[in-house]
Amino acid sequence: MAEPLMKFDVRSNVKQTLAELRVLQGNLSDKAQVRALNRTIDELRTEAGREIRKEYNVTLRGIRQASSVTRARPGKVPVAVLTFQGKPINLFEFDAKQTKLGVTVKVKVGGARKLIPGAFIQTIKGGQNAGKKGVFRRVGKARYPIHFLPSLSLPVMAEQQAIAAALLKFADDRFDVNFAHELEFLLTKR
């Protein structure tokens, strides 16, 4: 009786297996990169709110409304973008208080209140901001016209050197952590 024979020809499968492994590794790496970018951009939006609020006396709601996220998608070079847009913020939002000499506001968190001489607080009558309060100043000696006084916009706040540097460092650090996490997750998932 002939003995059973079992034979493995590893050499014939090595090239195909290596090619499949490269494709799988490339797909996993791309997928992990996109997922890590999206997670990092969401974390960066939260961190931007923290960093801006460390410096400026602005609400978190205002920061979230003025920021938008474009999520990364698989492709040649996946990119996730955090954009700040918006008009200058109403000075009334910076804890405006009427005094005999004008209006005082506190724009910076650690700073003192600033006096705007001759300014006054009035309810806006008309337009999209009707019913909200604003800080105004007369243009001349006459009662009218009056001029609305805006402050900084959120894009200007985010562009401040200290805030921008902190956000870039945060994004670099978090992307590395998130990419390693997502790659590990995808490799153990299979």
Higher pLDDT, 119 or 17: 119
More confident residue, 3 or 41: 41
How far is 163 from 169, CA to CA, in rounded Å? 10
Query: Taking the model in full, what pTM does it have?
Result: 0.72
pLDDT digits (tens, 9 = 90+) for 100-119: 999 999 989 988 999 999 99
- Of the given ranges (20-24, 29-33, 73-77), which has the lowest mean pLDDT? 20-24
Domain boundaries, the chain: 12-86+155-189, 91-151
pLDDT greater at residue 143 or residue 128: 143
Amino acid at 108: K
Contact at 8 Å (CB) between 101 and 123? no
pLDDT at residue number 182: 86
CA distance 145 to 163: 38
pLDDT higher than 70, residue 154 = yes
Could you give the count of Cα atoms lying within 13 Å of 71 in the half-sphere of its Cβ? Answer: 8
Please give, one letter per residue, the 3-state secondary structure of the chain.
CCCCCCCCCCHHHHHHHHHHHHHHHHHHHHHHHHHHHHHHHHHHHHHHHHHHHHHECCCHHHHHHHEEEECCCCCCCCCCEEEECCCCCEHHHCCCEECCCEEEECCECCCCCEEEECEEEEECCCCCCCCCEEEEEECCCCCCCEEECECCCHHHHHCCHHHHHHHHHHHHHHHHHHHHHHHHHHHHHC
Q: d(Cα 26, Cα 68) in Å, to the nearest integer?
A: 30
Structure tokens at 27: 């797909």
